[in-house]
Structure 1
Amino acid sequence: MKKIITDSAANLNVTTLNGIEYQSVGLTLVCGDKVFLDGADFDQAEFDKFIENSSTEIKSSCPSVESYLAAIGDADEVYIFTISSALSGSYNTAQTAKKMILEEDPNRKIHVFDTKAAGPAERMAAVKASELLNEGVDFSEVVAQVQAYIDHLKIFFSLQSLTNLANNGRINKTVAKLAGVLKINVLGWANEEGKIEQLGKARGAKRAYQSLVDILVKHNLNSKKVVIDHANNEKGALALKDLIQAKYPDCQIEIGICTALCSFYAEKGGLMVGCTVNDG
C-alpha cells in the first residue's frame, strides 16, 4: 500500500490525495499544562478563548516518533513531508520513525522530505508526489522528481504580527516589537536553509500585497501555479490573488485556510504563499 504523510503544518485535512491514501500527523500548541493538538478536531474558538485568559506564553511542539510510526502503519511505500527542519523537530522525528521501521523490515520503502517550507508549499510537495504515483512512477523516481520540485519550491508571507514567531525563537524579538509599534506588515520567506528571513515591509494591506507580488517577480516566480493560505483573512487572499493574476493572467491560483499551527504563527491577517521559483 502506498501512503503520503505530512505533518499538520501542511494545512491539509483530507483522507486521500488524488486517490492516494493520506494522513496528517499533528504538531501541538502547548500553554503550561494545556496541550492543543493540530488536527481535524482542533477547536479554534476554544483555543482563542483559552489564550485570551492566559498570561503564559504558548509554545509549539513537533510530532512524536510514536505518532509517525502509527501513521506509517503497515504501508510498504511511504512518502513523508515535513515543515522545515530549521523551524521544527518534525523532520528528525520522522527520520527516527523511518529508521526504526527499516531496521525491522528493510524491504519497505520510506522517504522523508524536508520541504524547507510550511503551509501551502509543503502541501504542494505532497500533491506533486500523489500526481507522480498516479502516473505509475516508481519509488526512486518519485523521490528524485519530488526532491527536484522541492528545490524550487518556496514559501513567502505577509504578516501583520510577529509576536508568536518571536516568542518561539523563530525571529528576533526586537524586530517583532518594532513591527508592532510601527503597525507595519512584514514580508519575507523561508530561505535556502529553510529559515525565516525578512524581505521587506509595508504600511497597510494594499501596499503589502503589491510589495509581495514585486518580491515574487524578483525571485522569478514560475507562473503556472500559486497557492495562498490565509489566517482569517480571505479578503486579503483574494486581493493578493487578483494582483498576481494581473501580472500573470494564466497563473492557476488556489486559496486555502491555515490550520492551527500556521494560524498561530501567521497570526490573524497573515498570508502564506506557496509557489515554485526559477532562482538559481
Structure 2
Amino acid sequence: MRKIITDSAANLFADQINGVPHQSVALSLTSGGQSFADIPAFDRAAFAAFSAGKAIKTACPSAEQYLAAYGQADEVFVFTISAATSGSYNAARLAQMMAQEVRPEQKIAVFDTKVAGPAQRMVAQEASALIQAGASFAEIVTQITAAIEHTRVFFALKALNNLANNGRVNKAAAKLAQALKINVIGWADEAGEVQPLAKARGEKGARKALLQLLAKHHFDGQHLVIDHADNLAGATALQAAVQAQYPACQVEIGTCNALCSFYAEQGGLMIGAKMES
C-alpha cells in the first residue's frame, strides 16, 4: 500500500486524496499547560475562547505520532510545513529512522515543503496524481522535489501579532501594521522563511498587491488555491480578481484550520500557487 501523510498545517483531512490513502498528523497550540489540537473537528468558537488574551505557542507532532501514521504501508510520502517555521519535518525524519530500523524495506520519503496551508496541500495532491499514474517511488521523489522548488505560499494578513509573538516576523513590523491598520502582503521565500513584501490599505488594495506579486514571481496562471481564516467574501473576491487576469486559471477556495487560523488571524488569506519553471 502507498500512503500520503501531511501535518495539519496543510488544512487537509480527507481519508483519501484522489483515491490514495491519506492521514493528517496534528500540530497543536499550547498555553498555560492546556493544549488545543489541530484536528478536523475545528470549532472556531472554542478556539477563540481558548486563545483569548493568552500567550499561545505552537507545538509540532511527535515522532511517535508520525510513526503510528506510517503504520505498515509499503511506501509513505510525508509532506510537512516548512522546517524553517516548525519541528514537524525533523519529527517526521526521526520517525522515518525509527520505522526503518524495524522494517528496512519500508520506503519513506519526507519532504520539507517550505510552505504551509494551500501550497503544502497542492504538493501532496500532485504526489497523489503521480501515484495514481503508476510512477515509481524514485520517480515520485524526483518529481515532487522539483515541484516544491516552484510552489509558493503567499499571504494577505490584517494582523501579524501571532507571527511576531512566535518569532516568525519582526515585532516592530507587526506593531506598525497594527497602528496603521494596513494589510501585509508576503510569502514564504525559497528557504521557507516568512517574509513581508508589501503593504496595502483595504482588501481591494491587498488584492491588487497580491496580483502584482504573482506576476512578479512568474505565476504560471494555471492553478491557485486560497485558504481563508473566516473570510469567505475576501477569498471569493480574490478568486474573481485572479480569474479576470488569468482567465484559464482554476481557483479553489478552502478554509484555514486551527494552526493556520492562528497565524493568518481573523480575515487572513493564504494563497498557494505554482511559479513557472
Stretch of structure 1 that moved more, 35-44 or 22-31: 35-44
Stretches of structure 1 that go unaligned for 5 or more consecutive residues are: none
5 Å-filtered alignment, 1:1-280, equals 1-52=1-52, 55-278=53-276
1:74 corresponds to which letter in structure 2? Q
2:40 corresponds to which letter in structure 1? A
Q: CA deviation at 1:207?
A: 0.5
2:268 corresponds to which letter in structure 1? G
Q: CA deviation at 1:50?
A: 2.6
Say if 1:230 and 1:271, in contact at 8 Å, map to a contact too: yes
Aligned counterparts of 2:41 and 2:228: Cα–Cα separation in 1:
19
Say if 2:47 and 2:258, in contact at 8 Å, map to a contact too: no
Q: CA deviation at 1:43?
A: 2.4
Please give the per-residue CA displacement for 1:176-200, whole angstroms capped at 9, x wherever unaligned: 0110000000000000100001110
Q: CA deviation at 1:128?
A: 0.4
Say if 2:151 and 2:273, in contact at 8 Å, map to a contact too: yes
Please give the per-residue CA displacement for 1:65-95, whole angstroms capped at 9, x wherever unaligned: 1110111111110000000000000000000
TM-score (norm 1): 0.97
1:35 corresponds to which letter in structure 2? S
TM-score (norm 2): 0.98
Say if 1:28 and 1:63, in contact at 8 Å, map to a contact too: yes
Q: CA deviation at 1:142?
A: 0.6
Say if 2:235 and 2:253, in contact at 8 Å, map to a contact too: yes
Say if 1:86 and 1:193, in contact at 8 Å, map to a contact too: yes
Work out the percentage of aligned pairs sharing the same amino acid: 55
Say if 1:36 and 1:42, in contact at 8 Å, map to a contact too: no
Please give the per-residue CA displacement for 1:169-228, whole angstroms capped at 9, x wherever unaligned: 111111101100000000000001000011100011110111111110111101110001
Aligned counterparts of 1:27 and 1:44: Cα–Cα separation in 2:
16
SS in 2 for 1:235: helix
- The alignment yields a C-alpha RMSD, in angstroms, of 0.9
Please give the per-residue CA displacement for 1:218-277, whole angstroms capped at 9, x wherever unaligned: 111011100010000010001111111111000000000001100000001100010111
2:156 corresponds to which letter in structure 1? S
Q: CA deviation at 1:13?
A: 1.6
Aligned counterparts of 1:56 and 1:242: Cα–Cα separation in 2:
37
2:26 corresponds to which letter in structure 1? G
1:17 corresponds to which letter in structure 2? I
Say if 2:230 and 2:266, in contact at 8 Å, map to a contact too: yes
Aligned counterparts of 1:56 and 1:159: Cα–Cα separation in 2:
20
1:234 corresponds to which letter in structure 2? L
SS in 1 for 2:13: coil
Say if 2:80 and 2:111, in contact at 8 Å, map to a contact too: yes
Q: Number of matched residues? A: 277
Aligned counterparts of 1:222 and 1:60: Cα–Cα separation in 2:
33
Aligned counterparts of 1:158 and 1:76: Cα–Cα separation in 2:
40
Q: CA deviation at 1:44?
A: 2.0
Q: CA deviation at 1:278?
A: 2.2
